Structure 1
Amino acid sequence: MSFLSPLLRLENLSTEPIMSQDHVPEAQRYNKDNIVAQWCAPINGKMYRIELEHGTTSGRRMIWVNGREVLRRDWMFKLVGEDTFCIEQARCIIRVDPAPGFKYEYSLYIDGKPHAQYTEELTRQYRLWLYSCASSQAAEADVPQEYRIMLKLDTLSLYVNDELREETAAFVHGGTDTSFEMHEIKFVLQARSSGNKHDGIVHTLLANDELVPEAKIQQIMQEPVSILQTN
């Protein structure tokens, strides 16, 4: 007599390896040590971190955007090729190409352009400021409050920590001021004429009347990477 359910008979058991991670919570599936390539790029005023997991022994390929899984392929026998995904309206492709010595080269394309070309063109369309301070809300945890302010020049859209702001610029002598407050910090984005045709409008950011130095987008972006790695 068998005490096993008929579904547990040996002939009913799958002989295929169980490679799916559907039963594992997303936060546990993400493992920084498994990332073989990463990029960072501005898309529609927001900064995105794009990471690739490429398991040459497990056959698993996963793509993460800002720590969230956007694509997963389990048990892939073909370890090279490309995967397509979208970030907002931008079409992204990650290519895996063979390299000498049983290694692999990883590259990212956004809207048909290599990552290096895409980011170079995008940096000319934005102004960026980074500001950090200890706010009253974060003082107990001894963690500084960080702000990333991005201005899209063609639409004058203003983003603070990836959130689009709705403030309206006020006309002042010589230009405009756009004011907004975040956690008891008063920000003023000033737009003034440079006085010459080549430079056009100069944008300056003040935080509680203190000048915030302008940052370069490249400072918070990974350089275009081509990581050669085997598992």
Structure 2
Amino acid sequence: MSFLSPTLRLENLSTQPIMTQDHLPEAKRYNKQNIVAQWCTPINGKMYRIELEHGTTSGRRMIWVNGREVLRRDWMFKLVGEDTFHIDQARCIIRVDPAPGFKYEYTLHIDGKSHDQYTEEVTRQYRLWLSTCGDQEYRIMLKLDTLSLYVNDELRQEESVFVEDGTDTKFMLQDTEFILQARSSGNKHDGIVHSLLANGELVPEAKIQQFMQEPVSILQTN
């Protein structure tokens, strides 16, 4: 006769590790303090912040994309290796390799290219501007090969009108009128030059690499 209650019998005890975060909502699982590496890159007209959590004592590896959990492995006894995931059909691999001094090196590869190589090649295909209207931050991206215009990752359907020396594309964000101008540079090497005006004032062009220093709010997390 067992003195254990029915719920405490050995056959009823869980064989799964108890160090899991399944019981926590996603917002609670995300902890900026646990992030050991982060990258930022444009993929198909949208900006993505990729973050890695690597628990060397818990054995947990978690990958976050724009604040969303896309991969989690608990109780990883092998602390090095690689994890594969996809972002909008792009194949991404994060590698964890040993480094001197009991440390680790983290690298990201996208579609078979290193993050730096991929970002350098892709950024040539875009123009990027950052603007704030009221309390709202806007990220305005132009994809050069298709002339697709994205505002905070949303594809805009705006019409361009011909002017004397190029085209103008007008659109409104809150009470601010934006004009995307396309003008000939006058030489074959530079081709068409794009600039953005907000209420008649020039918006400085931004660089993709700036996002590594930008606050998380510049990327949507919903």
Q: Normalized against structure 1, the TM-score is what?
A: 0.87
1:192 aligns with 2:183: yes
Which amino acid in the other structure matches residue 49 of structure 1?
Answer: R
- Residue 16 of structure 1, CA deviation: 5.2
Which amino acid in the other structure matches residue 129 of structure 2?
Answer: W
CA distance in 1, matches of 2:16, 2:138: 49
Which amino acid in the other structure matches residue 154 of structure 2?
Answer: E
- Residue 82 of structure 1, CA deviation: 0.2
1:29 aligns with 2:21: no
- Residue 38 of structure 1, CA deviation: 0.5
Which amino acid in the other structure matches residue 18 of structure 2?
Answer: I
What is the Cα-based RMSD across aligned positions, in Å?
Answer: 1.7
Other structure's SS at 1:38 match = strand
Correspondence for 1:100? 100
- Residue 147 of structure 1, CA deviation: 1.3
Q: 1:16 to 1:45 in 2, by over 3 A?
A: closer
Correspondence for 1:208? 199
Give 4+ residue runs of structure 1 displaced > 3 Å after superposition. Answer: 1-5, 14-17
Correspondence for 1:80? 80
Which amino acid in the other structure matches residue 20 of structure 1?
Answer: T
Pick from 143, 146, 150 the counterpart of residue 152 of structure 1: 143
- Residue 213 of structure 1, CA deviation: 1.3
Equivalences for residues 69-148 of structure 1 within 5 A: 69-134=69-134, 144-148=135-139
Correspondence for 2:217? none
CA distance in 1, matches of 2:17, 2:148: 50
Other structure's SS at 1:214 match = coil
Which amino acid in the other structure matches residue 87 of structure 1?
Answer: I
Q: 1:71 to 1:16 in 2, by over 3 A?
A: closer
Q: Normalized against structure 2, the TM-score is what?
A: 0.90
The answer to whether the 8 Å contact 2:40/2:209 transfers is no
More off after superposition, 10-19 vs 196-205: 10-19
Which amino acid in the other structure matches residue 111 of structure 1?
Answer: D
Deviations 1:134-186 (A, max 9, x none): 2xxxxxxxxx3211111010110111111111112111111111111111111
1:179 aligns with 2:170: yes
CA distance in 1, matches of 2:4, 2:170: 71
Which amino acid in the other structure matches residue 184 of structure 1?
Answer: D
Which amino acid in the other structure matches residue 183 of structure 1?
Answer: Q
Q: 1:16 to 1:189 in 2, by over 3 A?
A: closer
More off after superposition, 29-38 vs 5-14: 5-14
Other structure's SS at 1:48 match = strand
Where structure 2 has 5 or more consecutive residues not aligned to the other structure, the ranges are: 214-222
Deviations 1:163-217 (A, max 9, x none): 1111121111111111111111111101111111111101111111111111222
Where structure 1 has 5 or more consecutive residues not aligned to the other structure, the ranges are: 135-143, 223-231
Q: 1:133 to 1:16 in 2, by over 3 A?
A: closer
Number of residue pairs matched by the alignment: 213
The answer to whether the 8 Å contact 2:81/2:97 transfers is yes
More off after superposition, 84-93 vs 4-13: 4-13
Other structure's SS at 1:215 match = coil
- Residue 45 of structure 1, CA deviation: 1.1
